[in-house]
């Protein structure tokens, strides 16, 4: 389940945001107190209302968005958007106009959370692919080292698999173990 942090010091806006989040059955917290980047580790999305007073708020939001730390929804009147104008086209940033909060926040939340979920899946897939490539590189390096010591490619491959099974290791860890035993 997605967790949302809403930061607002305006009581009426906090109530309006809370109502939209409750109706959407989201898990959320609404805070008035200053937050830090570490506070955001438990959340999938952060909403900042223009009333929220945090020293250096706009640079803080810029860092979150540009570093792709967490998606940000910023609620403001159009008069106050000059400071965030550079972020308007960034996929991690969405501006919701104050006077459209009740009608636009719910669909914006769905869209941003879906985007965030898809992005997490893509990042996980990318990490898995990188791990697979690293493992394959290690296997090839290990096989080459063993072949230089007189083994055939098939014998080297069998030794890696046997080492992995005998020591309950991944193939990559088995290659590291073999390479440690037979330094080049």
Are 140 and 114 in a shared domain?
A: no
Domain boundary among 104, 125, 146: 125
Based on the domain organization, do 111 and 98 belong to the same domain? yes
pLDDT tens digits in sequence order for the chain, 184 residues long: 789 999 999 999 999 999 999 999 999 999 999 898 888 989 999 999 988 988 888 899 999 998 888 999 999 886 666 778 888 889 899 999 999 999 999 999 999 999 888 888 998 999 999 989 998 998 999 999 999 999 999 999 999 999 999 999 998 899 999 888 766 5
Residues 14 and 41 in one domain: yes
Which structural domain range is residue 161 located in? 129-181
Statement to judge: residues 93 and 168 lie in one domain: no
Residue 160 CA to residue 77 CA, distance in Å, equals 63
pLDDT of residue 116: 84
Residues 23 and 56 both lie in one domain: yes
Give yes or no: residues 78 and 154 share one domain. Answer: no
Distances (CA, A) of 79 to 50, 83, 85, 109, 167: 11, 10, 11, 23, 65
pLDDT the model gives residue 179: 86
Q: Are residues 114 and 161 in the same domain?
A: no
CATH code for the domain of 175: 1.10.10
Provide the β-strand partners of residue 72: 46, 93
Total domain count for the chain?
2
Identify whether residues 116 and 29 lie together within a single domain. Answer: yes
Q: Give the closest residue to 164 by CA, choosing from 133, 135, 132, 137.
A: 135
Residues 138 and 80 grouped into a single domain: no
Report the CATH number that the domain containing residue 85 is assigned in CATH: 3.40.50.2300
Question: Which pLDDT score is estimated for 88?
Answer: 86
Q: Are residues 137 and 72 both part of a single domain?
A: no
**10 φψ region: left (φ > 0), alpha (ψ -120 to 50), beta (else):** beta
Please indicate, yes or no, whether residues 91 and 175 belong to a single structural domain of this protein: no
Would you state the pLDDT for residue 182? 65
Distance CA 169, CA 147 (A): 22
Which of 102, 125, 148 marks a domain boundary? 125
**Predicted TM-score (pTM) above 0.85:** no
Residues 37 and 114 in one domain: yes
């Amino acid at each position: 389940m997605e967790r949302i942090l809403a930061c607002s010091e305006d009581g009426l806006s906090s109530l309006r945001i809370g109502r939209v989040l409750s109706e959407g059955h989201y898990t959320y917290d609404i805070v008035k107190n200053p937050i830090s980047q570490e506070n955001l580790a438990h959340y999938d999305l952060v909403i900042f209302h223009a009333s929220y007073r945090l020293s250096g708020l706009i640079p803080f939001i810029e860092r979150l968005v540009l570093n792709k730390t967490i998606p940000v929804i910023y609620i403001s009147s159009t008069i106050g958007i000059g400071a965030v104008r550079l972020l308007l086209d960034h996929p991690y940033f969405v501006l919701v106009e104050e006077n459209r909060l009740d009608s636009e926040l719910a669909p914006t939340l769905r869209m941003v959370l879906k985007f965030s979920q898809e992005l997490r899946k893509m990042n996980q897939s990318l990490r898995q692919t990188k791990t697979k490539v690293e493992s394959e590189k290690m296997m090839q390096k290990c096989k080459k080292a063993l072949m230089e010591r007189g083994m055939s490619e098939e014998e080297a491959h069998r030794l890696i698999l046997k080492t992995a099974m005998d020591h309950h290791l991944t193939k990559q860890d088995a290659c590291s173990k073999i390479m440690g035993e037979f330094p080049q």
